[in-house]
Chain A
Amino acid sequence: MPDADVTVFDKTGTMDHYRVSVVSDVFQNKNRLDRQRLVYTALSEPMRDGRIHALEIQSQTFEEAGVRTLP
């Protein structure tokens, strides 16, 4: 997701429960499940080796995030 604007929150201070807010136009016209699948795929490595134990994902397009509207 080259254009992704990612903000990461450490939910519990234990550095493995994260809330991730990802803004990218790759989510355009994708339902919630597919959006989350994209983020999971991008983070599959750290999730597999345990650096990420729990992940809460917010996924928006730039338009939904009110950053800019598509031409």
Chain B
Amino acid sequence: MTVEEEIKNEIASHKVLIYGKGTKTAPMCGFTVETIAFFNRYGRPFEVIDVLNNMEKRAALSKMVDWPTLPKVFIGGQFYGDTDILDEMARNNEIEPLLQKVFLENPA
């Protein structure tokens, strides 16, 4: 399986997925910590995949979504950038309805 297929499988099998530096319990980068904290506030399950030392995967990811940095967030299989983007979406109350849709919850 190519690294691109591996990534596609991962994106498809997690409703909320963060590619970052370090793991959920041992994040190695401030931005990864920030992103984990961001999603902890919403209380839905999410996955963190550590690509800190996997240069090939990082390059493939950056090429796939035309985005050079980590962390990279995918929600419902869609790319949403990083906390710069997510914070702005949160300020516009776009995150909660998005998560409800992705987790197939009926709106409150």
Contacts of B85 in A (CB 8 A): 32-33, 36
A28 interface residue, CB < 8 Å from B? no
User: Is the CB–CB distance between A54 and B31 below 8 Å?
Assistant: yes
Contact with A along B65-108 (1 / 0, CB 8 A): 01111000000000111001100110000000000000000000
User: Is the CB–CB distance between A56 and B84 below 8 Å?
Assistant: yes
A44 touching B84 in the complex, CB below 8 Å, given contacts A33-B79, A54-B31: no
User: Is the CB–CB distance between B30 and A40 below 8 Å?
Assistant: no
Q: Of B31, B85, B88, B89, which is in contact with the most chain A CB atoms at under 10 Å from its CB? A: B85
Contacts of B89 in A (CB 8 A): 32
User: Is the CB–CB distance between A54 and B30 below 8 Å?
Assistant: yes
Q: How many residues of A contact B (CB 8 A)?
A: 11
Q: Is chain A's interface secondary structure helix, strand, loop, or mixed overall?
A: helix
Contacts of A36 in B (CB 8 A): 67, 81, 84-85
Contact with B along A39-71 (1 / 0, CB 8 A): 010001001000000111100000000000000
A60 to chain B, nearest CB (A): 11
B-side residues, CB < 8 A to A, are 30-31, 66-69, 79-81, 84-85, 88-89
